[in-house]
Amino acid sequence: MKKILSQCICAVILILGILLPFTPVTEAKETVTDIISQERYLKINNAINTVFIDTVENKGFLPSNTLYTLYKNDNNMTLSFYNLFVEYDLDNEKEQLEVTNYFSAIEELGLTASLQKDKTIIVQEKDELALFEKLLIQLMDYVDLENGLLKVEISFDDIGRPDNVTFYDSNNEGFFWYEITYISMIEYNFNFIFRKLSEPVYRAYYTIKYFMDQHILQGLLAIFILLSLIVLAILLLLNFFSLLYTKRTKKSLATKNKVWVLFIIGVFVYSLLLIVPYGILILLPLDIIGGGVKAAIFFFKKVFKRE
């Protein structure tokens, strides 16, 4: 009997041990502010831009679809520009990287998270709308609020986090919105690294686009110059390494090995463009030196052949 009783007690303890982690915790007193404070990585889409924010490290980046990317690290802003010919006014963009701008007005409402799950609320009180008007002025370049806001619509996800905010003017038309996605560290870092690695492509694209906008012939000439610089630099380095290999081994570099060397050199040249803003111009002296060396070799070969 004792053995059966002890087995039953063990079985109950085992079942409780399995079920307790899945037992919902009462969250009636947990506010929306509490829920938000547990989130670290955010992706915010709005009517103007997409913004990525790390709330713990107080950093983020704004991968604008125009001529630059703005990076925030603590309170420092770094601008990675893709067009030398344009001046930037970034006050509005800086405000978009401040996470408090997206949540402060919502937090002031003092909502309970468990009561907002999968719900949409409408803010129409004058004092509460004033909070969102202030937010609009921070996030938008220009706001015409002569007649004020009619309402603000806020939707919440299945655990009570705000995920969509829409602003309506006096004509009951939505004129500004932002959508909040709570993302993982992997997604945040992937987007950050991808943006960094693609910067030389953006620089080349917007440089060519600028010249194309001036005249199509200027654009074609820019394409030719940029591609020539890259190709010549890669070929010059390939010839250099092939020459070193031949001198040391007394053998010419095999075609298969040349492909690998070419790939490594391509990565090296691309890395130069990553490290130095407009690094493509750094390659110009290499090309001039390479062209001069090739011309000298050609000249001496002709002279020695005549002799």
Mean pLDDT of all residues in 62-83: 82
Q: How confident is the model at residue 21 (pLDDT cuts 50, 70, 90)?
A: very low
Considering only residues 90 and 218, tell me which one the structure prediction assigns the higher pLDDT: 218
* pLDDT above 70 as % of the chain: 75
Q: In the prediction, which pLDDT does 193 show?
A: 92
pLDDT tens column, 130-181: 888 888 877 776 666 666 678 899 988 888 888 899 988 878 888 888 899 9
Whole-angstrom distance, CA of residue 122 vs CA of residue 133: 15
Statement: residue 190 has pLDDT above 90? yes
Mean pLDDT of all residues in 8-37: 53
Lookup result for tokens 């509490």: 34
Considering only residues 278 and 205, tell me which one the structure prediction assigns the higher pLDDT: 205
pLDDT tens column, 24-58: 333 445 777 787 788 889 999 887 788 999 988 88
pTM over the 0.85 mark: no
Mean pLDDT of all residues in 276-284: 68
Select, from the ranges 11-15, 64-68, 96-100, 197-201, the one with the highest average predicted confidence (pLDDT). 197-201
Whole-angstrom distance, CA of residue 161 vs CA of residue 155: 8
Mean pLDDT of all residues in 91-119: 80
| Other Cβ atoms within 10 Å of 106 Cβ, number | 25
Q: Which of 204, 210, 219 is nearest to 283 (CA)?
A: 204
Mean pLDDT of all residues in 186-194: 93
Mean pLDDT of all residues in 215-225: 84
Statement: residue 285 has pLDDT above 60? yes
Tell me what the pLDDT averaged over the chain comes to.
Answer: 78
Six token digits for residue 26: 């009462």
Q: In the prediction, which pLDDT does 15 show?
A: 47
Six token digits for residue 104: 């402060």
Q: In the prediction, which pLDDT does 201 show?
A: 87
Whole-angstrom distance, CA of residue 283 vs CA of residue 276: 11
Q: How confident is the model at residue 183 (pLDDT cuts 50, 70, 90)?
A: very high
Considering only residues 27 and 84, tell me which one the structure prediction assigns the higher pLDDT: 84
Q: In the prediction, which pLDDT does 1 show?
A: 54
DSSP 3-state assignment of 240? Answer: helix
Cβ atoms 65, 54 nearer than 8 A: no
Statement: residue 189 has pLDDT above 90? yes
DSSP 3-state assignment of 295? Answer: helix
Whole-angstrom distance, CA of residue 51 vs CA of residue 60: 7
Return the exposure string of 128-165: e unless at least 16 CB atoms fall within 10 Å of the residue's CB, then b: bbebbeebbebbbeeeeeeeebebbbbebbeebbbebb
Whole-angstrom distance, CA of residue 181 vs CA of residue 99: 13
Q: In the prediction, which pLDDT does 304 show?
A: 64
Q: How confident is the model at residue 228 (pLDDT cuts 50, 70, 90)?
A: confident
Return the exposure string of 256-295: e unless at least 16 CB atoms fall within 10 Å of the residue's CB, then b: eeeeebeeebeeebeeebeeebebbebbeebbeebeeeee
Q: In the prediction, which pLDDT does 298 show?
A: 66
Lowest mean pLDDT among 52-61, 230-239, 266-275, 281-290: 281-290
* pLDDT above 90 as % of the chain: 10
